[in-house]
Structure 1
Amino acid sequence: MTEYVSTTPGLYPLPDWAKDDLSDLKGHQKHDLVSGDEGEEITAAYDAAREEVIEGQIEAGLDRVVEGQLRWDDMLAHPLAVHDAVETRGIVRYYDNNNFYREPVVDGDLEFSGDVASELESAAELTDDLQAVLPGPYSLADLATDEHYGNEAEFIGAIGDFLAGEVEAFPDHETLFLLEPSLVENAPTDGEDERASDAIDQVANATDADVVVQPYWGALEEKVYAHLLDADIDAVGFDFVANQDDNLYNVQEYGVTDDISLGLADGQNTLVEDPEAIRDRVDWVDDQLQVTEFETVYLTTNTETFYLPYGKYVEKLDVLAEAADLAEVTAA
């Protein structure tokens, strides 16, 4: 029987109190932040905020619990932005929205960092249902500038190596979500699509956990999707909020993994869906895909919830958890 798992792609909004406190603290410690030393007060604030968002997920009843990525001021670029071999330069628009990140310019070998592993070690002390979150290698390479490796093939290979090394240091986790919006927003060309799949495969093979590749803000081009299915992953994610028809076409035309991740709740809209509506969307997708049975169906927001007011994000967690419970009952 299909297991319905409620989860999110991470990248949460800060609790309101933490947003205010950290803004003040960072203003006072600007020099230290440039040098990479966050300081004890900032670290303590992030620790408290992490505990709050993890407790909130547990109280909501989510089946997978993420660390929250609250320190990721540079969004998906974060693992590079904090790396010793990367220089952060000017502010760049984050895809086509009004959020920005510092451009990470790689000017040396991308050796092991351990930054994300450290965050997950702290999270693992608070939950037994840990889900790790990382930018996928294609998106991370797309958001960065290479001034060291010399060509695109070498660069995405180095990003894949780097992320795989980071994953190997993670504490035990049930699931790994690789976030790949660039596969949609800046689709790889011929040749690049195969290299992107190879890099994803490399990262996926660094963990024994279930691996979900979650593109969003639309649907993958056909060749990109077909190559993605060649990677050794457990599930592909589909943004059914932004694009239903093309996502359905990909599955009907090229097939799908044994597991699937359904982005059915809007991660950027403050309108809070009814759990029954999400459950109905699950049934609709199931009817359209005509797959005999998935082993696992992940129910998630279509994007990160960073853009939402904190209170609305909390409500979305409750909806996802209840929708997964309703889907289980219906399936039974």
Structure 2
Amino acid sequence: MTERVATTPGVYPLPDWAKDDLADLKGHQKHDLIDGDEGEDVVAVYERAREEVIERQQSAGLDRAVEGQLRWDDMLAHPLAVHDSVETRGIVRYYDNNNFYRDPVVTGDLTFDGDIAAELEAAAALTDSDSLQAVVPGPYSLADLATDEHYGDDADFLAAVADFLAGEVEAFPEVETLFVLEPSLVENPPGDGEDERASQAIDTVAGAAPEGADVVVHTYWGALDEKVHAHLLDADFDAVGYDFVSNPEDNLYNINEYGTKDSIAAGVVDGQNTLVEDAEQIAERADWLADNTPATDFETVYLTPNTELFYLPYSTFEEKLAALGEATDIAEVKA
């Protein structure tokens, strides 16, 4: 019997009170203080906000809790934006939407940093290891979002980013699940040769996960090209994430035509739209997926929003968490 697990890709919106508090600290605006060495007052705001979003996930009944990535003003580019060998320069559009991030320009070796591990250690103190989920950008997406002025070769740069992320992941505490977010595989798909290197880079990061952790490579904003999908499956991880909000038919085609991993993550909640799906709708989408993949008996289906959630107003974010947690309860009742 397939297990349904309620979770999210993380990268949450800040609680409204936290936005206000940060605005009062030195006139804080987006990016002003996020450089890896924030002052004590700023750190205290983020600590309190972290506690709140973890409690929200727990009270919503989610099966996995993430740290929230509330400091990630630069979204998936954050791990580079706070690195000592990276200069943050001009503002760049974040994929094809109205969000922006600072261009992380790599000017030196990408050595170990520990920023994500420190956040995760703080989250680990607030929840159990068997429900804790780590979140990292995928190596292909992180390299795609960055500018290289050090390595000088696209293949070398991707490999360096993968090694950097693997080093960060190796420092993680015990977790149940690791979500590796790879929207660039859809938004800016790798070409011939590069698709194989992207798969190898993901394999490098997945191989660094804490022992026993399930690794989910989550793609979104559409569907993977067939060849990219095939190369992705060559990497050694546990589940591919598919966006069944933006492009359900093509993602379904990839699964039924080419197969997938033994488990999948199903993006069945819209991470960008303020319309809140109720629990019954979410459960019905999961049922639709099961009905339309008759040849595949998944071990686990991670029910998740299709994208990061920072796009949403905080109150809407809370409502979507509650509906998502309730959806797996409905599935258990039906079973």
Question: TM-score when scaled to structure 1?
Answer: 0.97
- Partner SS state of residue 261, structure 1: strand
The residue that corresponds to 1:57 in the other structure is 57
Q: Is contact 1:139-1:181 (8 Å) kept? A: yes
Whichever residue aligns with residue 269 of structure 2, its letter is: A
Q: In structure 2, what residue type is equivalent to 1:262?
A: A
Q: How does 1:226-265 map to 2 (within 5 A)?
A: 226-265=230-269
1:118-137 mapped onto 2 (5 Å cutoff) = 118-128=118-128, 129-137=131-139
Residue 215 (structure 1) aligned with residue 219 (structure 2): yes
Q: For residue 242 of structure 2, what is the amino acid of its counterpart?
A: F
TM-aligned CA distance change 1:95 to 1:191, over 3 Å:
same
Aligned residues: CA RMSD: 1.5
1:187 maps to which of 172, 186, 189: 189
Supply the distance in 1 between the matched residues of 2:2 and 2:255 (Cα, whole angstroms): 18
2:19 corresponds to which residue? 19
Residues 196-205 or 20-29, more deviating: 20-29
Q: Give the TM-score taking structure 2 as reference length.
A: 0.96
In the TM superposition, residue 326 of structure 1 has moved relative to its aligned partner by 1.4
Deviations 1:269-292 (A, max 9, x none): 111111111111111111111134
Q: Which moved more, 1:247-256 or 1:20-29?
A: 20-29
Change (3 A) 1:31 1:168: closer
Structure 1 segments unaligned to the other structure (5+ residues): none
Q: Specify whether residues 26 and 320 from structure 1 end up closer, same or farther in structure 2 by C-alpha distance, changes over 3 A only.
A: farther
Kindly indicate whether residue 159 of structure 2 is the aligned counterpart of residue 157 of structure 1.
yes
Q: 1:328 deviation in Å?
A: 2.6
- After superposition, the Cα gap between the structure-2 partners of 1:35 and 1:315, relative to the gap in structure 1 and judged at 3 Å, is closer
Is the 1:136–1:178 contact (alpha carbons within 8 Å) kept by the matching residues of 2? Answer: yes
Amino acid at match of 1:202: T
> Contact 1:4–1:325 (CA<8 Å) still a contact in 2?
no
The residue number in structure 2 matching 1:101 is 101
User: Could you tell me how far apart the structure 2 residues matched to 1:31 and 1:78 are?
Assistant: 10
Say whether the 8 Å CA contact 1:216–1:302 is kept in structure 2: yes
Task: Judge conservation of contact 1:26–1:42 (CA < 8 Å) in 2.
Answer: no
Report what 1:173 is aligned to: 175
Please show how residues 73-84 of structure 1 align to structure 2 within 5 Å: 73-84=73-84
Identity score, percent: 74
- 8 Å CA contact 2:199, 2:235 repeated in 1: yes
Rounded Cα–Cα distance in structure 2 between residues aligned with 1:14 and 1:224: 34
100-109 or 291-300, which moves further after superposition?
Answer: 291-300
Q: Could you tell me which residue of structure 2 aligns to residue 278 of structure 1?
A: 282
Q: Once the two structures are superposed, what CA deviation does each residue of 1:49-100 show, in whole Å capped at 9, x if it has no partner?
A: 0000000100001000000000001000000000001011000000111110
**By how many angstroms is 1:22 displaced?**
0.9
Change (3 A) 1:282 1:33: closer
Q: Which amino acid aligns with 1:37?
A: D
8 Å Cα contact 1:32-1:38 kept in structure 2: no
Gaps of 5+ in 2: none
Q: Is the 2:31–2:74 contact (alpha carbons within 8 Å) kept by the matching residues of 1?
A: no
Change in 2 beyond 3 A, CA 1:232/1:43: same
